[in-house]
A and B are shown apart, each in its own frame.
With several copies, the nearest count.
Chain A
Amino acid sequence: MIDSEDKSAIIRLFHVYRNYGVKHALIDITLDIFNNEFLFISGPSGAGKTTLLKLLYLAEPVSDGQILVDGLNLSRIPRKNIPFLRRKFGIVFQDYKLILTKTVYENVALVLEAAGEKRRLIHKKVKSVLRTVGMEQRLNSLPPSLSGGEQQRVAIARAVIGDPNIILADEPTGSLDVDAADLVMDLLKKFHTRGATVVIATHDKALIHKTGGRVVHLNEGRLQVTPEI
């Protein structure tokens, strides 16, 4: 069981809608995500989980409603400040989004390079985080030569290397066997313990039961808040 220690909201959604043409991917979502919370967004395939996360890091704009992240109103952020918003997040994308022409090392190092870190520090951190996910042997491999689970672990490494305030993980264990999944969940819990807010989108009920934390349920774009497990 994981406790949320701090009850101030770090992410707030007010009556958020997201439409794609006539398709309503998200309908009237109002939700507070608290500081240092460990939150699951569950729901069946096509419920809108990925869409919800995308709105948070401004990959897409809301169709209607407001989102505040860390007190910032997302619809008011000027274009040139979007990178700074995104650096608050560590994101595990559902389709990994690894750069196929860059090595595992380079993919993970990218986040720190973009933030202007020193080479020495980058080197140390990348090695250490890849060790945590069990990919330290594959530093110089290109993503297409990795198995599905290996790619996912690299994606997770990249998400956490910047020591982000908020971790958004979209099906972070979908391609992993039970042992590897436990390893990853332990890693996320460790960051949670250190103060990070963790939001996991998943359809995997077993994973939710095993881990604990607050769960919000999405279905056909609508939110069904269930009591904490």
Chain B
Amino acid sequence: MTPSVKRAIQDIRQNRFLNAVTIITIALSILIVSAFALFFINTNDLMNAWKRGIRIMAYLKPETPQAEIPELKKKIQNMYGVSEARFISKEDALNGLKTHMKRQSSLLDNLRENPLPDTFEILMIASSQSWERVEMLAADIEKLSQVAEVEYGQRWLERFTNIFNLFRLAGYALGALFFMAAIFFVANTIRLVLYSRREEVEIMRLVGAADSFIKMPFYIEGLIQGALGGIIGLAALFVIFLFVSSNVPQDFSTGFFHIRFLPLPVFVAVIFSSMFVGWLGCYLSLKQYLKS
């Protein structure tokens, strides 16, 4: 063990209260920011699951020959953003309408001929979706010679997307705010801690210690505090996560989307960021005290 590390550990022991305060502050900040990240990741999953519900219906012209269908299908499937194109013949469509209308299906029994067109139901790739992309794709499909008309989404789906964008905007604003606040709280706590130890720093300088000698243990402490704070914060988040996710309505998490914890890379990134923040807090504060 190098002398600096030894001094850092000694120092942590000698200033238990101050170290505990710093570690808890970092842990809480990490908890907040990563709770936000967790919320966001899951909301995004949810949004994608929802968007998988967006489908474009392309009604074909009545005169389209059956033979062109497979080629047309291929054409649509090769378009950018399309994940699947399912052909629904006009007979299937009528049957579907009958089941769907249930109570009013009697009025369909009296038809002389099937008035419905052949249809392609087109699903989109979740990741590449936005309301604009859906519209662009729909316009492209409409340009195909066999397609009579295109219908996509319902009014509510558009509305929902708009609402979600509002959520997302507010979410980014809040997230950025929390993130900066967390950095401030940590830097600030470290600054107050060093403020209450400024005499010690001053004495070391007076007896001939170089700035690097003085700083080193503080930096190491900052890294240790950052690592501990990050681990504690994520552990706390996991406990809260378990609690919340066990309270989510069953049909929800077993349904079309699963609540999940932070993925491993994010997890590791959080710990490293936490260590970086611990170090940075020391760096900025020490710079101030060692200036003159």
Contact = CB atoms under 8 A, between A and B. Distances in A.
Q: Report A-B touching, CB under 8 Å.
A: yes
B10 interface: yes
A111 B204 CA distance: 8
A77 interface: no
Chain B at the A interface: SS class: helix
A114 B204 contact: yes
Contacts of A101: 14-15, 197, 200
A57 B206 contact: yes
Interface in B190-213: 197, 199-200, 203-211, 213
23 contacts: A57-B206, A80-B210, A82-B205, A83-B208, A83-B209, A83-B210, A86-B205, A99-B204, A100-B199, A101-B15, A101-B197, A101-B200, A102-B200, A106-B10, A110-B209, A111-B208, A113-B3, A114-B204, A114-B207, A114-B210, A114-B213, A158-B207, A162-B208
B3 A110 contact: no
A99 B14 CA distance: 11
Interface in A44-70: 57, 59
B231 to A, nearest CB: 26
Given A82-B205, A99-B200, A100-B199, 4 more contacts: A59-B206, A83-B209, A86-B207, A158-B207
Interface string A108-146: 001101110001000000000000000000000000000
B194 to A, nearest CB: 13
A114 B210 CA distance: 7
Given A101-B15, A102-B14, A119-B3, A110 B206 contact: no
Interface of B: 3, 7, 10, 14-15, 197, 199-200, 203-211, 213
A84 B200 CA distance: 19
Interface residues of A, number: 26
A7 interface: no
Nearest to A58: B206
Contacts of B209: 83, 110, 114
B205 A83 contact: yes
Contacts of A222: none
Given A101-B200, A119-B3, A86 B206 contact: yes
Closest 7 CB pairs of A and B: A114-B209, A86-B208, A87-B208, A83-B210, A101-B14, A97-B203, A99-B200
Nearest to B290: A79
Contacts of A100: 199-200
B3 A115 contact: no
A97 B208 CA distance: 13
Nearest to B200: A99
Contacts of A98: 203
A17 interface: no
Find the residue from A83, A98, A111, A158 having the highest chain B CB count within 10 A: A83
B203 to A, nearest CB: 5
B192 to A, nearest CB: 15
Find the residue from B206, B207, B211 having the highest chain A CB count within 10 A: B207
